[in-house]
Amino acid sequence: LVGLAAGGLTRSRAAAPDPRVTKAELDRILGQPVLRTDFLNSPVRVESVDLLRNGKHYLLRTRSADGLEVITVPNPSRMAESFPVFLKNIRPVFLRQDARRLEDLLWDAYRHGSNYKLQGIALWSGVAAIEMALLELLARTARRPVADLFGGAIRRDIPVYYASSNRGNRPEEEIEHLRKLVAGSGVKALKFRVGGRMSRNADSLPGRTEALIPLVRKSFGDGFTLYADSNSSYDVPEAIRIGRLMEAHGYAFYEEPCPFDWHWETKEVADALNLPVAGGEQEFSLRNWQWMIEHRGVDIVQPDLHYGGGYVRATQVARMAAAAGMTVVPHMSGGGLGYLDVVHFASFTPNIGPFMEFKGNAELPVACETSSLRCEEGRVRCPNGPGFGVEIEPAFVKAARVVSLA
C-alpha cells in the first residue's frame, strides 16, 4: 500500500506485487519524442560553441547562424575534469546542425567516434552542457521560456529542502549546522549525510549515524520532512539496519543506501523496508533506469540533470517513473546554476516530489527579472522569461577566456 507520511511515501512490497509497468510500456515511452519545437518554423543553425573560463567558473557561448548569442553554465567541476572530451568528442557533433534536431543529435553524440566507449559522467556531463546551451538557443529564438519546449510550465513556486554536505562532524555540530542552513528560509524539509561514503559499513565517526538520526528528528520536530543520504556506504544487512532506525523516526526517504551501481542489492534494501528508497544520481544509462523502474529497484528516482546527460534524458526517466506510479526528485549537482536547473525541471514535470534539493545560491553574478532566485518562504520561484530566464553579468562573460585543446 502506498500513502503519505511526513511529506514522503511509505510502501509495503508485500501488499502489491511488482513490477507495475512492463518493459514494453517503458520501451514505448523511450521511443516517444520529448521536445516541442512546432513553434519554431525555421532552422536554428548552430554556428559556434565556445567554452569559456573565468576563474573556477566555466561558461558556454553559443551562437546561431542568425546571430543570436546565448550564455549558459555547465557543471564547473565536471567540466574542469573532462573539457578535452567536450571539445574533441562532443562539440563537433552539434556544430552547423539545426538545433531543432536536438534529440537526434544526443544519439549522434553517443555514437560519434565511438563515444559510447567513454560512457559515464565524463561523457554525459559534457553532453548535458551543450544540450542546455541548445535549449537556451531554441527558447531564446522563439522568445519563450524553456519549459515551453517540454509542454509548458505547470507550476512556478517550487518547494525546496536544504541539503547538508557535511560528514564526519559530531552530531551536535551537525544540528547547529542544519539550524543555520534553514534559519529564515521557511523550509520545512532537510537532508543530511549518514555513513562514511563508499565506506564498506564504516561510519565517518563511531556512532555518529545512530545518534544523529533520532537527534535530528528531536531537534526539528514532527513538522519537518527529513531525508538522509548514505552516499553508497552500506551492504544490504547494514543498510536495512540503518533504514529501520530511520523508519522508527518517521523519515521520508533513504538515499543511495548501497553502492550506486549495486542495483540488485539496492532493490533488496528497498524490498525489505517500508521507508522509500531513493537513488540514481550517478546513473547515466537509460536502460539501467528502465530496469530500476520496471523492477522497482528504488521508490524515488533521482536523475542528475548534468551527470545523466541533460533535461531530455531526465524527462525520459521521469516519464517512465510516472508510468510506474513513482515520483522524481532530481539530484542537484553542486556549483554553477545547478539549483536553478532543478527548479526549471520541477516547473514542467508532473510527477515531481514534494520538495526539490537546494544547496544555496550561485556564486556567479547572475540577474533575473522574474525571480529573486532565492529561497523565500520555503520556495524558489522559477524564472519565466525567455530561455532559462537569467542573464550572466556581461563584464563577467567579457573577462572569461576561451578554453582550447592547445
pLDDT, tens digit (0-9, with 9 covering 90-100), for 29-51: 999 999 999 999 999 999 999 99
Stretch 253-269: mean pLDDT: 98
Residue 1 has pLDDT above 60, yes or no: no
- pLDDT at site 40: 98
Q: What are phi and psi of 63, to 5 degrees?
A: -125, 145
- pLDDT at site 205: 98
**Cα–Cα nearest to 381, from 351, 350, 356, 353:** 356
**Cα–Cα nearest to 228, from 204, 262, 261:** 204
HSE, side-chain direction, 13 A CA sphere, residue 276: 26
Total residue count of the chain as it appears in this document: 406
Tell how far CA 95 is from the center of its chain: 26
Residue 307 has pLDDT above 60, yes or no: yes
Specify the higher pLDDT residue, 15 or 288.
Answer: 288
Residue 107 has pLDDT above 80, yes or no: yes
Residue 104 has pLDDT above 70, yes or no: yes
**Cα–Cα nearest to 293, from 285, 301, 282:** 301
DSSP string, 303-367: -BTTTTT-HHHHHHHHHHHHHTT-EE--B--SSTTHHHHHHHHHHH-TTB-S-EEE----SS-EE
pLDDT band at 334 (very low <50, low <70, confident <90, very high): confident
Contact 149, 138 (CB under 8 A): yes
- pLDDT at site 361: 74
pLDDT band at 11 (very low <50, low <70, confident <90, very high): low
Residue 2 has pLDDT above 50, yes or no: no
Tell how strand 46-54 and strand 57-64 pair up: antiparallel
- pLDDT at site 336: 87
Residue 62 β-bridge partners:
49, 70
Helix axes 286-294, 23-30, angle to 10 degrees: 140
Q: What percent of the chain has pLDDT over 70?
A: 95
pLDDT in tens, 280-298: 999 999 999 999 999 999 9
Residue 148 has pLDDT above 80, yes or no: yes
Residue 15 has pLDDT above 50, yes or no: no
pLDDT in tens, 66-101: 999 999 999 999 999 999 999 999 999 999 999 999
Contact 399, 57 (CB under 8 A): no
Alpha-carbon distances of 106 from 2, 51, 102, 103, 265, rounded to whole Å: 36, 19, 6, 5, 31
Per-residue cell: 176? 547547529
Residue 12 has pLDDT above 70, yes or no: no
- pLDDT at site 360: 75
Stretch 187-204: mean pLDDT: 98
- pLDDT at site 391: 97
Q: Which helix (H) or strand (E) holds 51?
A: strand 46-54
pTM score over 0.85: yes
**Cα–Cα nearest to 375, from 393, 388, 391, 356:** 356
pLDDT band at 363 (very low <50, low <70, confident <90, very high): confident
